[in-house]
Amino acid sequence: MVGVMSVVELDSKLAPIADSLISRSNGAYDANFVRDLVAQIASEFEDVPVRDYIDVLIAKEAMDEMRRLKALNLVTS
């Protein structure tokens, strides 16, 4: 994907979001997957003019996606 930050390039605002989600997931998701998910979601907001609370929105979107994936996993198991 063009514009998606790599794991290494997570900036100072995204790294704590990813770290928090990794911790909250209790090992349910690979750390690199979570970092990539956060970077992907952040890239969707690259061109928005208002940057206030963007980190909160990114965290919410990532958590929602992780919940959705967990629900899908439960259904298919």
Give residue 1's pLDDT: 40
Question: What pLDDT, on the 0 to 100 scale, is given for residue 42?
Answer: 92
Residue 8 has pLDDT above 70, yes or no: no
Contact 7, 49 (CB under 8 A): no
Buried b (16+ CB within 10 A) or exposed e, 36-45: bbbbbbbeee
Q: What would be the CATH architecture of the domain defined by 7-76?
A: Orthogonal Bundle (1.10)
Looking at per-residue confidence, does 8 or 41 come out higher?
A: 41
pLDDT per residue as tens digits for the range 29-74: 999 999 999 999 999 988 888 878 889 999 999 999 999 988 777 6
Q: How far is CA 13 from CA 27, 38, 55, 74, 77, in A?
A: 22, 11, 7, 32, 35
Compute the average pLDDT of residues 5-12.
Answer: 55
Q: Give the pTM.
A: 0.76
